[in-house]
Every structure is written in structure tokens, then in C-alpha cells.
Amino acid sequence: QAQCAEVPSTETYDYIVVGSGAGGIPMADRLSEAGHKVLLIEKGPASTGRWGGTMKPDWLKDTLLTRFDVPGLCNQIWADPTGAVCTDVDQMAGCMLGGGTAVNAGLWWKPHPADWDVNFPEGWRSTNVAAATERVFSRIPGTIAPSMDGRRYLSQGFDMLGGSLRAAGWEYLDPPNAHPDKKNRTFGHSTFMYAGGERGGPLATYLVSAAGRRGFTLWMNTTVRRVIREGGHATGVEVQCSSSSGGGAGHTGVVPLTPKTGRVIISAGAFGSAKLLFRSGIGPTDQLNIVKNSTDGPTMISSDQWINLPVGYNLNDHVGTDVEIAHPDVVFYDYYGAWNKPIATHAESYLANRTGPLAQAAPNIGPIFWEIIKGSDGVSRHLQWQARVEGKLNTSMTVTQYLGTGSLSRGRMTITRQLNTIVSTPPYLRDKYDREVVIQGIVNLRESLKDVANLTWITPLPNVTAEAFVDSIPATPARRCSNHWIGTAKIGTDDGRTGGTSVVDLDAKVYGTDNIFVVDASIFPGHITGNPSAMIVIAAEHAATRILGLKPLSEPEASSS
Ligand SMILES: Cc1cc2nc3c(=O)[nH]c(=O)nc-3n(C[C@H](O)[C@H](O)[C@H](O)COP(=O)(O)OP(=O)(O)OC[C@H]3O[C@@H](n4cnc5c(N)ncnc54)[C@H](O)[C@@H]3O)c2cc1C
């Protein structure tokens, strides 16, 4: 049994960052870089080998690598999520060091300007975040050729589908991240955050520089139960050893902030951050009452101190719509089988040089292609299509359509008495023009592929209309989820306490508080073109600059609370 250490009550921190995902790691790095004393608290265990992770198949056992390091094993999260994912969330979410960036497929996109400009407020537009974007892509450039010999393996699916799109007039981008503004009838190889043939990303960059600083402390296996506050001022956080984190050593007790000037940054993900706000008495009254009636009741802040904000509303995810095609040129590779029994020469070349199919993401992802379609409401909507070589046949490709920027549907997450979060209102296709664009995207893809010799449509079948097909798939997370959850603590100038929709202000500070911030996917007001992790890291970089620029609390602040 791992030990559970008491928190030393005399040690205080300038910043406590809760959650080590795409938002939390870069935030903790920037704050420590500025000379502050920073504590990063992660509820899950170590993931990649560098940080002491241990989960691995036999063929990695004599190496430092874990399953999270090897791109070709990223899909194991679907076969065996135990110990790596959150057990208090009804969706797939990484609960370990790195959060989603430890378990995801590593797709890594420089945002289209509209990803900021359509939904984010002034101060967070594409021109405002240009410096943050630069910084992120200089630290994590991403690659379209992850194998260390620069070769792309298993490219039959890419060649067939990419070649067909090209023949239909779609433009090839080399590479896509050199042209982030070109998202209309374009395609390219997938860009991954991988580096050196391994996962890379925030765990291999920002966390490494943070960990090298004396003022930085990392606790894993430690869950933050609540932010302790007096009115709108946080004084510390209450932590407990995580029960579900594979037995690593954690901490229990109350961690104090540096008196007066200390700050808490909540970066626990779209579900985790909302949950922590609820448990800290911040959110809609119906949700806070559920917490009050749970095991948290006795320690919950009294109801006269509750801050009524629309936490949990504005939930969004890309609506995923899968189509399946088959072509005799396409060759399936058994990435799932590579867990127990990788092809020997592929395991050898990966271990020796980080080359070959196992240096690439499962299950052979790409091409990625984009289209912008205007709904009859006049709103342009961005579609990203993501192909992978798997499906009903050995020659199948499944292609997922994500509806992103411009989508108007929203849902809601709520909490249960057992303190689990649930998607109580799925955000998918509630807006009729969102549905119209999803359908039109499929019509357009069929049209683009109609002259491809020997290509067969498996789903939808040729005699099914795109409309009937889209309507036949339930608008539920089980069928439409893309694992790109955002929006539960929206950023904006319309203060949610007085009828507005926003939970945090332009500095990512929770309305009604003077030192509690939320920085992660939760603050995104609306969805974006592609997979979100790079944009979340950019948002964290930008938020860090803004937060570091705030006056210390001991000095009077013009716009506080
Ligand atoms: C299977 C999967 C595949 C994906 N593929 C891609 C992809 O290829 N490309 C891409 O861009 N995006 C992908 N995503 C999405 C992306 O990973 C997430 O959008 C991103 O990681 C979210 O960042 P975040 O900082 O908001 O939260 P997270 O990365 O989820 O981090 C939150 C962290 O907080 C911790 N935490 C939560 N509550 C507490 C608490 N109370 N106390 C302490 N710690 C806490 C969690 O354990 C977690 O580590 C994928 C997601 C999944 C699940």
C-alpha cells in the first residue's frame, strides 16, 4: 500500500495549479519560470517513462518506455483504460500525469484564425494570441513524419484517399500547419506532437523545464477536493490521496496559499474543473445543492457564500459522424495486436532507432481534410475529416467528420450525488443548421469520390441519402463523441452572476473571486476546427502572460471581482 503523506501546513505556495493536462502543465511552467513558487497537483499516476510511469506490455519491459511513450500503442486506451482514465467522468478522459496529452493520439494543429475570432472575446483574438502561438510551436513544432528515418510507413490509405481528393480538386498542404488559414477543400498528412519517435508534447517539454526549477513542486496521486475560500478569496486547497490511482504515493491535508498574494489555477479539464468549482461552492444553485446533499455536505462552504455562475453550461464537443469506404489498395495494420505481439522486425526497429510503423499513431491516421460550408443561417462552419485505416474489411477506411468552428449547438454537464460528472444534455446537432452542414459535408465528400475506380461505400450505403444517414445516428455521446470536450467555464465579459453566460473574465479569473482562475478546455466559448490540445496549450500560454501581468492582490486592482 502506497503511503499517504500529510501536507506540511507551514509550506505555502504562490500558485497552486490543479491538474497536469494540456492547460495545467504549460501554466505551471510559465509561472515557475517567472520565479514563483508553484505546486502542480495531479490526481492520477505517472504516465510516460520519464516521469516514472510503469504501465507497459512485455516487449517494453527492459526499457524506460511505457505504453504512453509509444505512438503505435496510443489506441490501447480503448482496449484497456484501467488506471489511466478518470473514473468519475462518464466520458473518456485521461486521469494521469499529462491528462489528455498522455493518452491521446497526438494530433497537433495550429489554429485557423477563425478558431479564435468567431467565439473568443476581445483580448483573445487571433492577433492577441500570435505571440503565444509562436512560443508553443517553437517548443512543440509537431511533425508529419514521426518515424525517425523521415519515412512514412503504411501510406496506402493516405495515397488512395488523398490522391482521390486531389483529383477532385482539393489542395494538398505541405505541411498543413504552414497554412493554418487554409481549411477549405484542403488536405494533408496528419501533424503529431511527437518528437524523437515518442509521445513528446507538454510532458516532454514544458514539464521538463518546470521540473528543473527549485520553486516547482509536483504531486501526483493527489486529488484536490475543494478550494478553500473566504468569500471571493481562496486561502488554499484541500487534498486527499487518490484512491483510484494505481497505488502511488499522494498527499492529504490542506495546502495553504501564500497569504494575500497566492492564487489557484484550476486546470482539471472540462469535467474536472467544473466539478471542482461545484465542490467549492461555485456554480448553479441546483448543482451546489447536489454537492450539499453528498458526502461533501459537512465540509462544503455555507450557502450564503455560494457564487452563482453558469458552470457546466455551454458544453461542447465536435459532433463525430463516421463514414466508411473500402478500396483494394488499402492495407490494414494490426496496431491492437502490437500490444501483445508486435511484428518482430517492427518492434526491433522501434526499440533500436524509433523507426517504423510503431513510431506512428495507431490506427494509421490520415489523410486529414477540411471544408468550410455556410449554413442557410449565413454562418460558416468548419469541418475536419479524419481518416484511419480500420473498419469492417481489411481494406476499409473509417473517416470521421468533426463539426467545429461556427457550430451553434451546446449541451450541459452536471454532477451526481456520488460526485460523478455526467453529460446530461448532449451537445450534438441541437441547432438545425449544424445538422444541415453535417449533411452537406457528406454530400460533398460523396461527390468528390464518385469517380474513384473500385472505391465502395460501406457506410452510408449508396442508396441511403446523406440526410437519412445523419438522422439515423443517435445524437448521443456513445455514437457521436469526439473526446474534444470544452466550454463548461466559458470566458467572456458578460458576468454570469448577473445573467451573462461567462464564468471567467478576460484574465481567466472566476467572476466573484479575486484569486481563483480556470485555464484549460473549460474556458473555450465555442468549438474550433481541429483536435484541441495545441490550442489549449496556446490558451494556457496566453492566460499565463495575462495572469503574470496582473497586479499583486496586496495592491488595489481596478477590475477586481
Ligand atoms: C482518447 C483521447 C484522444 C484524444 N486525441 C486527441 C488528439 O489526437 N489531439 C488533440 O489535440 N486532442 C485529443 N484529445 C483531446 C485532448 O487530449 C484534450 O482536449 C485535452 O487534453 C484537454 O486539456 P485540459 O487541460 O482541458 O484537460 P486534461 O488534459 O484532461 O487535464 C486535466 C487533468 O486534471 C486532472 N484532474 C482532474 N481533476 C482533478 C482534481 N480534482 N485534482 C487533481 N487533478 C485533477 C486530471 O487527472 C487530468 O490529468 C483526445 C482526448 C482523448 C480522451
- Enter the ipTM: 0.99
Whole-number Å distance, alpha carbon 21 to ligand 1 midpoint, is 5
What integer best gives the mean pLDDT of the chain? 96
CA of 560 to the centre of ligand 1 (A): 30
User: How confident is the model over 78-108, as pLDDT tens digits?
Assistant: 999 999 999 999 999 999 999 999 999 999 9
Report the percentage of the chain scoring pLDDT > 70.
Answer: 98
Q: Is the pLDDT of residue 553 over 80?
A: no
Provide mean pLDDT across the span 125-135. Answer: 98
- Cβ of 276 closer than 6 Å to ligand 1, yes or no, is yes
Cα–ligand 1 centroid distance for 320 (angstroms) = 18
Q: Give the single-character DSSP code of 111.
A: P
Instruction: Map residue 535 onto helix, strand or coil.
Output: helix
Residue 561, pLDDT score: 45
Instruction: Tell me, using a 6 A CB cutoff, whether residue 197 lines ligand 1.
Output: no
Q: Measure the N-to-C terminal CA separation of the chain; round to a whole number of Å.
A: 44
Q: Which atom of ligand 1 is nearest to the CA of 106?
A: 8
- Whether 111 lines ligand 1, by a CB cut-off of 6 Å, is no
By residue count, the chain amounts to 561
pLDDT at 555: 53
Q: Give me the mean pLDDT over the 467-474 stretch.
A: 98
Q: Locate cell 491492437: which residue?
A: 336
Residue 3 has pLDDT above 90, yes or no: no
CB distance 142 to ligand 1 below 6 Å: no
Residue 224, marked binder? yes
Which entry of 112, 382, 484, 527 is annotated as an active-site residue?
Answer: 484
Whether the Cβ atoms of residue 132 and residue 542 lie closer than 8 Å to each other: yes
26: three-class secondary structure by DSSP: helix
Digit-coded pLDDT (tens) for 438-452: 999 999 999 999 999
Each residue's pLDDT tens digit, 8-54 = 878 999 999 999 999 999 999 999 999 999 999 999 999 999 999 99
Residue 560 has pLDDT above 50, yes or no: no
Residue 559 has pLDDT above 70, yes or no: no
Confidence (pLDDT) at 246:
57
| Index of the ligand 1 atom closest to the CA of residue 361 | 8
C-alpha cell at 115: 478558431
Q: Is 104 in the pocket of ligand 1 (CB under 6 A)?
A: yes
- Ligand 1 centroid–CA 160 distance in Å is 33
pLDDT tens sequence across 388-423:
999 999 999 999 999 999 999 999 999 999 999 999
pLDDT at 243: 81
Is 484 marked active-site? yes
CA distances from 201 to 40, 193, 207, 558 (A): 17, 5, 9, 37
533: nearest Cα among 113, 86, 99, 95 = 99
Q: Which amino acid is at 3?
A: Q
Question: What average pLDDT score do residues 135-152 get?
Answer: 98
Q: Which helix (H) or strand (E) holds 475?
A: none
- pLDDT at residue number 9: 79
Least confident range from 246-250, 273-277, 326-330: namely 246-250
